[in-house]
Structure 1
Amino acid sequence: MDDTPQPVDAKTLKFLRLLVTVLTATMILGLLVIIALFVIKFSETRPDLPDRIVLPDGAKATAFTQSDTWFAVVTDDDRILIYNPTTGTLVQEIEVIAGE
């Protein structure tokens, strides 16, 4: 048995080189598109945050979320404070009980 590899045609090598080049260009272009989409998405205008939120004594905010009719602040002492967006008054307080 002869284990000598057969010679590869020059046209096949040129075709493979072209395929690799096109794949590389496609991957680079795709990466640039994804980066552009991230930049566009995260540079959009931010929601209007309240000018001032009065938290109960000793509470520190760890998260904030809002809708059209309320906004909520999650505090470091495991509470969710729901506020009225127009008056800024505390509407509801929810104590979060974390499971062990």
Structure 2
Amino acid sequence: MNPPNPKTDKIAVHISEDLKPLIPGYLADRRRDLQRMGVLFEADDLAAIQEIAHMLKGSGASYGFDQLTVLGDELEMAAAGNQSKPVKSLLDRLANYLSRLEVVYT
């Protein structure tokens, strides 16, 4: 048996069945946000990344994705501090999280 791989193993997030109609659109929007922030990063527009990260921070936990709130908070602070290297690292972490996410409705 292979040991767990923290970079590729699925991340199961348990979400209320009541939110099921909203989750696909919400996650699609977050993936678009990630793409947009990648473009903004290349344009060195950390202020715009800060705004998107603030929204991410505010909405993640509301939908049951606590990790999105954490990443949004860290990303907002790094962008506000004009810290390009941490912003890039956090965008990579966000991309990894979204790619591994598996929603489990309860």
The answer, yes or no, to whether TM exceeds 0.5 is no
When the two structures are superposed, what TM-score results if normalisation uses the length of structure 1?
0.25
Relative contact order higher in (CA < 8 Å, ≥ 6 apart) = 2
When the two structures are superposed, what TM-score results if normalisation uses the length of structure 2?
0.23
Q: Which has the larger radius of gyration?
A: 1
- Indicate the structure with greater helix content: 2
- Indicate the structure with greater strand content: 1
